[in-house]
Chain A
Amino acid sequence: MSSATGSGAAGGPSRVGSAVDAFLRIREASIVVVAILLVIYFQSVNENFLSKANLETLSQFIAASAIIACGEIMLLICGEIDLSVGQVFALAPFIMHFANTAGVPLVLAIILALLACALIGLLNGLITVMLSVPSFVTTLGTLFLINGFTLTISHGSPVQTGGSEAFADVMGAWGYSEILWAFLIVAIMHTALRQTRWGLHTIATGGNLTGAAEAGIHVNRIKVGNFVLTSVLGGFTGILEAFRIGSTDPLAGGTNIMFLAVAAGVIGGTPLAGGSGTIVGGLIGAIVLGVLRDGFTLQGINAFTFDMIIGAAILVAMVSNIHLGRLRGAGARR
């Protein structure tokens, strides 16, 4: 980001060229373009795409993966990953349910469930940093562990989600409440990443682990904290979904939602290598995935095709990120 505002690639300096240049230098730019193009495409093939009813459905496709992506992105930035978050997603509403049926008021039951999620995050984090187990392996283990635990306490069958109608509406049952939660959490996490020491130290931890430690940053604390954050966000999303659907399913979430969240982060411009990333990009990545799924569903294309398209989208996103990153670098050096 030097004072030089490079010229258009095609030739002489032009205002359009430098505007395009400046836009391309924004990390999230390419994925925003993709999102807009997709919306235009789906609207053109099906005029109901931007209808009120479908926007509501679309928002629900997006919300869950966007919230969980916030946690995964923080972990990816500090050089870790959490594969177990989808199982925490399934466990949290059951803890809420059992606490509630045991007589604990619902709000308190939710807090209790989130505390349990925090504990799981703490476990993931401590095993990873204290015992030097790669987080991929740690959370692969806890993934099965939590899944088995949820299936055991639930006897494998779903239960009704309780609560008054008004409370359920706030917690996800009203059509747009989940996406509003997502926007709120994205805003908070974006600020946390860009405007607080926690965010800066998360980037430093992933960017230069030894260097960050030498500067006196408690890198282990940063990592464990982000594991806790991810688990809590995963559990909270599970609770929102339980209220939205009205029933709590032991097989909800799982690796599917976890991979969607990681994919949203990666498509949005957060590399797996650590040291950089963007929360807003994760939201846009989730929007792209949501638009793809919803758009293809409207068109009647089946789930198998959708998976192929997501796979291709991740590859295209990664390649273009690396490539545009190089262009950005060249632009800055000019």
Chain B
Amino acid sequence: MNADALRAEEIVKRFGPLTALAGVSMHVKSGEILGILGDNGAGKSTLMKILTGFQPQTSGRLFVFGDEVELRSVDHARALGIECVYQDLALVNGLSVYHNMFLNRERLRRFPPRMLNNGSMRHRAREVLDDIGVNIPSVDVEVERLSGGQRQAIAVARAVSSDARILLLDEPLAAMGARESALIIDLILRLKARGNLSIIMIMHNYAQTLDIADRIMLMQRGTVTYEKAAGETSVPELMEIVRREYRALRSA
């Protein structure tokens, strides 16, 4: 009964002679948090870019809520309810919080036509931030004045401010202190509690991933090598798998 929100089958991505993804199959259920772990170069970011319509796959099929789709662009993926927060956050430093939250889907006035409706965007930005419990002094401040955690929260708020049903987070806790991480973890869990949002996170920290995610997936050299419910595995088990690969590479 619970159809997959997003499903990928045998995704292959090649860049010239380099194979970044060698047939990756994965899925995320409605309301589920999937954590993707793996070393640099394992293909996590490439997978993410395909799922967001930023790049097309070389081969393989994608299904969104059961329907097969060919993602043509970021806009197309967005229209299907897929939103992404990239590691660089895609925020523009010189712009205000509310302009960033509405970047490329600005609200326009009916009159004079084609003019930005800043009042409406400001108001809605405030609403969204209050709704998901993000605390910043003003939506008028330029994002360069915010802390790393606040910036991450703004990027997440932007992603869910539209009708996102599938949220992709690329290293949401990267380069963040303990207190900032806690802030973002709380935010992710609050979003999950709303029930209808599926979240796919690329992560580095095993302990944090097992804490937040419902299910984890390990990627190594362009393939999925391990997948389990978060409750059925442990940090030592995951580390053992990675250690095995690392030893094999060293002795080879």
Contact = CB atoms under 8 A, between A and B. Distances in A.
Interface of A: 1-3, 191, 195-197, 200-201, 203-204, 207-208, 210-212, 214-217, 275-276, 329, 332-333
A216 B86 CA distance: 13
Nearest to A197: B106
B70 interface: no
Nearest to B89: A211
Interface residue range, chain B: 20 to 34
Given A195-B115, A196-B114, A200-B116, A215 B103 contact: yes
B138 interface: yes
A191 B54 CA distance: 32
Contact of A214 (B86, B106, B115, B138): B86
B14 interface: no
Main secondary structure of the interface of A (DSSP, over half): helix
Given A1-B140, A200-B95, A200-B99, A215 B115 contact: no
Interface in B76-103: 78, 84, 86, 88-95, 99, 103
Given A215-B104, A216-B78, A216-B104, A208 B90 contact: yes
B137 A210 contact: no
Shortest beta-carbon contacts, A-B, top 9: A211-B90, A207-B92, A216-B74, A214-B90, A276-B94, A215-B104, A204-B92, A215-B103, A216-B75
Given A3-B137, A200-B99, A217 B104 contact: yes
Given A2-B138, A216-B104, 6 more contacts: A196-B116, A200-B99, A200-B116, A204-B104, A214-B86, A275-B94
Given A195-B116, A200-B106, A216-B74, A333 B92 contact: no
Nearest to A199: B116
Q: Is the interface of B mostly helix, strand, loop or mixed?
A: loop
A2 to B, nearest CB: 5
A11 to B, nearest CB: 26
A275 B49 CA distance: 25
B108 interface: yes
Interface of B: 54, 73-75, 78, 84, 86, 88-95, 99, 103-104, 106, 108, 114-116, 137-138, 140-142, 145
A191 B116 CA distance: 10
A24 to B, nearest CB: 16
B108 to A, nearest CB: 7
Most buried by B among A210, A216, A332: A216
B138 A332 contact: no
B108 A208 contact: no
B72 to A, nearest CB: 11
Contact of A208 (B73, B74, B88, B114): B88
A201 B102 CA distance: 11
B29 to A, nearest CB: 26
A211 B86 contact: yes
A329 B142 CA distance: 10
A196 B115 contact: yes
Given A204-B103, A214-B86, A216-B73, A197 B95 contact: no
A333 B90 contact: no
B125 to A, nearest CB: 14
Interface centre among B88, B90, B116 (most CB of A within 10 A): B90
Given A1-B141, A196-B116, A217-B104, A212 B94 contact: no
B154 to A, nearest CB: 12
A216 B141 CA distance: 23
Given A1-B138, A197-B108, A211 B145 contact: no
A3 B138 contact: yes
A213 to B, nearest CB: 8
A210 B88 contact: yes
B106 A208 contact: no
Nearest to A207: B92
Contacts of A208: 88, 90-93
A195 B137 CA distance: 24
Nearest to B93: A207
5 contacts: A200-B99, A204-B92, A210-B88, A211-B88, A212-B90
B89 to A, nearest CB: 7
Contacts of A197: 106, 108, 114, 116
B94 A215 contact: no
Contacts of B141: 1-2, 332
Given A2-B137, A196-B114, A201-B104, A329 B90 contact: no
Contacts of B90: 208, 210-212, 214-215
Contacts of B137: 2-3
Contact of B94 (A2, A195, A203, A210): A203
A166 B105 CA distance: 46
Contacts of B84: 214
